[in-house]
Structure 1
Amino acid sequence: MVSALIILIVQLLYVPILTVRTIMMVKGMKEKAAAVGILEGAVYVVALGLVFADLSNYLNMIAYAVGFGVGLYIGAIIEEKLAIGYVTLEVNIMNRNDKLVHRLREVGFSVSTSEVEGMNSIRYLLACTARRDREKEFIKIVSEYEPSAFIVSFEPRNFKGGYITKAMKSRREKFLKKSKQS
């Protein structure tokens, strides 16, 4: 019984670490993924060693499987909170909305606008890139100005140049400083 509890706890540590390491690899963070992989390997060996020490103990195997499943869930929550990387957002709106564009830029989002042909009318497309941890903030702002906007987000594998790198950070800092003074 004690070994099953230890296996469960170790799995609850191991699997979230595995999840975060996998995300880091996908995002191209090789060095960080390798460092986390060392920890992951150590924890994995301990858990597996405990299971293989007594293959007749089905409780240990059940603890391993349950720990794996719950660990995946915890790992997904951790990954969501970390929000590593960037997101590209496309906003499709009926009319040009300069107030929305100004507000998004004011708080540090990159925004490129274009007029596009919809099925029945001319529409306006806002193309934006932001850190993933700001995606909900972006959607909230757009929803305030354009409640019926069609918003699509996806994660770019990589990008080069453009507005996003330094200007977004300095604009955000400027906005936060201005907000604190108000």
Structure 2
Amino acid sequence: MSNILLIFLLQIILVPTLSLRIIFVVKNMSILASIFGFLEALIYVFGLSIVLSGEQSIPEMLVYALGFAAGIFLGNYIENKLALGYTTLTVNLMNRNTELVSTLRNNGYGVTVFEGMGKDSVRYQLQILTKRSLEENVMSIIEKFDPSAFIISYEPRKFKGGYLLKAMKKTKKRKS
């Protein structure tokens, strides 16, 4: 019974560690990725040695798999809470909605407005780059001012210059 609990606990620790390692690799954070890779390998070898030693009981193997699934859930939860990186929101509007644009800018978000031709009339597109941890806040502002807006969110890998970097530099200067 103690082996089963240990296996489950190891899997719940292993899989979020694996998830975080992958995230840090993708975000080009090599030192953190290496640290989590070391921990991942250590936990993996230890857990697998318990499962494969002795009689290889079916309950232990099932708990190993169940712990893996629970670890995926926990890893996803942790990743969403950390919300590392940035997100770009592309917002398509039927109307110019200057009140929405002003509100977003007054809340510190950089907004670029494009005008284009849709199927039946002129459409407006907003492009907003923000920290991923603030994405839900931006979405709620958009929803409040234009519930029919079409929104696409994606994570940019690299960017250079622009409003967000200027705002971050101002914030750092104020703190020092």
TM score, norm. by length of structure 2? 0.91
User: What is aligned with 1:96?
Assistant: 96
Q: Following superposition of structure 1 onto structure 2, how do residues 69-84 of structure 1 map, counting pairs within 5 Å?
A: 69-84=69-84
User: What is aligned with 1:37?
Assistant: 37
Say if 1:110 and 1:168, in contact at 8 Å, map to a contact too: no
**SS across alignment from 1:92:** strand
User: What is the RMSD computed on CA atoms of the aligned residues?
Assistant: 1.6
User: What is aligned with 2:139?
Assistant: 139
Say if 1:27 and 1:85, in contact at 8 Å, map to a contact too: yes
Indicate how the Cα distance of structure 1 residues 168 and 122 shifts in structure 2: closer, same or farther if over 3 A, else same: farther
User: What is aligned with 2:163?
Assistant: 163
**SS across alignment from 1:156:** coil
Q: Which runs of 5+ in 1 are unaligned?
A: 175-182
Q: Which runs of 5+ in 2 are unaligned?
A: none
How many residues are aligned here?
A: 172
Matched letter for residue 51 of structure 1: V
Cα deviation code 1:95-143 (max 9, x no counterpart): 1122211111111211101111111110111001111111110010011
User: What is aligned with 1:120?
Assistant: 120
**SS across alignment from 1:77:** helix
**SS across alignment from 2:87:** strand
Fraction of identical pairs, as percent = 44
Q: Distance in 2 between matches of 1:170 and 1:148?
A: 34
Indicate how the Cα distance of structure 1 residues 168 and 126 shifts in structure 2: closer, same or farther if over 3 A, else same: farther
User: What is aligned with 2:58?
Assistant: 58
Matched letter for residue 128 of structure 1: I
Cα deviation code 1:142-168 (max 9, x no counterpart): 111111111111111111121222315
Matched letter for residue 126 of structure 2: L
Shift of 1:54: 2.2
**SS across alignment from 1:90:** strand
Cα deviation code 1:82-102 (max 9, x no counterpart): 111111101111111222111
User: What is aligned with 1:67?
Assistant: 67
Q: Following superposition of structure 1 onto structure 2, how do residues 8-19 of structure 1 map, counting pairs within 5 Å?
A: 8-19=8-19
Q: Which stretch of the first structure deviates more once superposed, 113-122 or 40-49?
A: 40-49
Say if 1:10 and 1:47, in contact at 8 Å, map to a contact too: yes
- Any runs of at least 4 consecutive aligned residues in structure 1 with deviations exceeding 2 A, and if so which? 168-171
**SS across alignment from 2:119:** coil
Q: Distance in 1 between matches of 2:96 and 2:139?
A: 17
Matched letter for residue 135 of structure 1: E
Shift of 1:169: 7.0
Shift of 1:56: 2.8
Shift of 1:17: 0.9
Say if 1:108 and 1:168, in contact at 8 Å, map to a contact too: no
